[in-house]
Structure 1
Amino acid sequence: MQAVLYVCHGSRVAEGRRQAVSFIEQCMETVDEPIQEVCFLELAHPTIEEGVQTCINKGATKVAVIPILLLSANHAKHDIPEELEPIKQSNPSIQFQYGAPFGVHERIVDILLERIHEQDSELSEEDMILLVGRGSSDEAVKENFREIESYVKEKTKIHKVETCYLAAAHPTFAEGLEQAKASEAKRVFVVPYLLFTGVLMQEMTEAIEKLSSPQPFILCNYLGYHPNLREVLRDRVYEAIST
């Protein structure tokens, strides 16, 4: 019997965890599989091991493990597979299928644009867009953001589109803010490339509130669990099951 195990990142902020579970529950309605469970990579329960065990207890013989992550970085490439390895060894009769993160996707870029237009529907070529990623030491993530920048430039006709990172990569968020402040941009739209609210969103809000700048810095909402993401996730589930 097929099971689907959705692996969310986890958050110290209860609202972030609640949003993650709520999103997955909505996605479950679009996936026609008998066993579907949610777990967390870190900072929350159930853990991956607990999630797998629940699937097995319900009769699963195959478990599709789906990372609820935006890009393929260390969590997707190393952390989740490393968590799974001893679980696989303890359950040799269970077939595991490992899915891909959301990845760079035009439907996700459309959410970014929606978040910007929520702040102002009329954009100017004199405006600047500062994308804010979680950050990773994986160079592939920077390449992903270069692709995302290209999509955003193409869809908005704004030429000043830059990326900074909240951790593990440069330019840092503080550096990104200073570079934007020194630019000739009329306004700076700060766009978090994050799935949910949490400590990182709180830190960004505080940093922008403290910023002294001649031009307005407009913090947009995080991606959130948008219908477009449900569509992309459904695709990732069935890709994994078909392997």
Structure 2
Amino acid sequence: MFDAVVYIGHGSRREEGNTQFKRFIESVMADIDNPNQEIAFLELTKPTISETLEKLIAQGAKRFLIVPVLLFSALHHKLDIPEELGFIQRRYPFVSFKMTEPFGTHPYMVDLVIKRIKAEKNEQNTAILLVGRGSSHLGPIQGLQQIGRKVEHKLGIPVYAAFLKLGKPSMEEAMAFLPYRYKKVYVMPYLLFTGLLLEKIKQTVFYSKDTFDICQNLEFDELMKKTLIKRMEEARDGEAVSGNDEPERQEGSDYRRRKNSSA
């Protein structure tokens, strides 16, 4: 159905973050039955979206699956990437694009948060603090809060959401009142890769009271890989939707390589 697949990452000033992203996408590519798969970045590093698309068009690709590797749908997903695609389509009217949804609140992402928490949690009278980047759009704010509610329901312990930039409460505000309520608070950075924001969380936790411990960030886990492939299957089958992810999509669609179908 698609001549090529393009995975779009945000891009990082830290090469370590870009390397983590590339390694993750390479693991996804190995499970996708398409010979033309490439990586592009929104900013801070190359290749750009336009560079990658023009390279593939020159090789004969016309029908593209665009896979934004983003946590939630906000400015990049709603505006920046569509603008780039529109620019290319005006130059090459014969090409077409279909874009997947971000990770969102897929149940696998909830499972990943629980996995990270269980790896660290070993005390009673505890709470969880999910820390996200934040956004001027309500979607990412509400998305992280929804994930928090689902984790709270599954673990049976209080889960709070806080934000580093735009969104309330801020991480600092949450860390100011939580020690009065709980003996231990586990901070879970809801971030994809190593970068300045993750370092900020780590430093804040390090210099805080003994109440706080930090969990590993998302860091491109196998559960994220499963989520991304599900999003690709949804787009291929015409099921890509915005918003909540319940009920879950049926497991019948299979975008993996046949040789890995039992994995």
Q: TM-score under structure 2 normalisation?
A: 0.86
Give 3-state SS (helix, strand or coil) of 2:22's partner.
helix
1:124-167: per-residue Cα shift (whole Å, max 9, x none)?
Answer: 3x201000011101112222122111111111100x21111111
Give me the identity figure in percent. Answer: 37
User: CA–CA distance in 2 between the matches of 1:74 and 1:8?
Assistant: 14
Q: TM-score under structure 1 normalisation?
A: 0.93
Q: 1:103 is aligned with what amino acid?
A: G
1:154-210: per-residue Cα shift (whole Å, max 9, x none)?
Answer: 11100x2111111122211211221223x3201000001111111111111111222
The equivalent of 1:153 in structure 2 is: 152
- Among 219, 223, 240, the alignment partner of 1:224 is 219
User: CA–CA distance in 1 between the matches of 2:108 and 2:62?
Assistant: 33
The equivalent of 1:38 in structure 2 is: 39
The equivalent of 1:83 in structure 2 is: 84
Gaps of 5+ in 1: none
User: CA–CA distance in 2 between the matches of 1:238 and 1:68?
Assistant: 15
The equivalent of 1:4 in structure 2 is: 5
Q: How far did 1:2 drift? A: 1.2
User: CA–CA distance in 2 between the matches of 1:242 and 1:4?
Assistant: 15
Q: How many residue pairs align between the two structures?
A: 237
Indicate if the aligned counterparts of 2:85 and 2:97 stay in contact, CA closer than 8 A: no
1:96-141: per-residue Cα shift (whole Å, max 9, x none)?
Answer: 1111111101111111111112213x453x2010000111011122
Q: Which stretch of the first structure deviates more once superposed, 21-30 or 199-208? A: 199-208
The equivalent of 2:207 in structure 1 is: 210
CA RMSD of aligned residues (A): 1.4
User: CA–CA distance in 1 between the matches of 2:26 and 2:89?
Assistant: 26
Q: 2:63 is aligned with what amino acid?
A: K
User: CA–CA distance in 1 between the matches of 2:194 and 2:175?
Assistant: 20
Gaps of 5+ in 2: 239-263
The 5 A counterparts of 1:149-188 are 149-158=148-157, 160-181=158-179, 183-188=180-185
User: CA–CA distance in 1 between the matches of 2:205 and 2:81?
Assistant: 33
Give 3-state SS (helix, strand or coil) of 2:130's partner.
strand
